[in-house]
Amino acid sequence: MSGTNWTYEDFKKNFKKKTTLDLDSYKQRQMERRIRQMMDREGCKSFYDFYSQLEKDEEFLSRFLTYLTINTSGFFRDDHVYQNLQNKVLPELLKNHDKLNLWSAGCSNGEEPYTLALVLEELNALNRVGILATDFDRKALERAQEGVFNFRQVEKVPSRILERGFTRNGSNYQIKPKYKKIITYKHQDLLKSWPTFKEMHLILCRNVFIYFKSEIQEELIKRFVKQLTPGGYLVIGCSEYINEADTYGLQKVFQAIYNKTK
């Protein structure tokens, strides 16, 4: 088959060879639609033309990966979730454990792990916590480690926390070093084998499941539950839901928050 006649299947196969990202794990109609939208914006007439552009332009490939992995986040996203974490979940975990291991899986530009750190300071527990933050997008991880955010990104941060947690530099806000110290950033593809992590007391994987096929969602839930300590918590997106949670050893305790019961 000539390159100009490439199908979406041809694109997926070659893209996986180049990047190791397996697009077969994602919901096909949704993912193909997103890719075609970017092709149209970039003036690419075929999957072959689009792939050729990705092959020869590393900056273009980086932009595409960022677009593909849907780096949409924000500080205190879904405020009621963080209220339940601050008022219920984290105080319970801190009462039962001397040191907590938390994981932000799919951390994007760092808003989620830094929000956790800001909440933990409210609980006077910064020195009792380590946060692991992982993402597939290396550029997003670089931005997260820099910890510089614009006004729109921090607009949901309560004013007293914003003043205490950030240093303003013009129109940007730099997260203070004490929050960076408790966060370890690592590159990770959730669909591949995981490195050896410590057992986690709290895992946040929010607004990630929704893009995967159901069988991939089920496999990820099993792996997250295995990674949790007994009594630990898994937090997902508010638009996501775990069907028959008890079959995974989970119990829903608040919207988007599940407790590992066994």
pLDDT in tens, 15-25: 988 888 888 88
pLDDT higher than 80, residue 221: yes
Q: Per residue in 170-181, pLDDT tens? A: 889 999 999 999
What percentage of the chain reaches a pLDDT higher than 70?
Answer: 97
Contact 114, 179 (CB under 8 A): yes
Domains of the chain: 3-68 (no CATH), 79-260 (3.40.50.150)
pLDDT higher than 70, residue 3: no
Sign of torsion over alpha carbons 153, 237, 89, 114: negative
Count of other CB atoms within 10 angstroms of residue 43:
9
pLDDT higher than 90, residue 64: no
Q: Per residue in 68-85, pLDDT tens? A: 766 567 899 899 999 999
Residues 126-145: what's their mean pLDDT? 94
pTM: 0.82
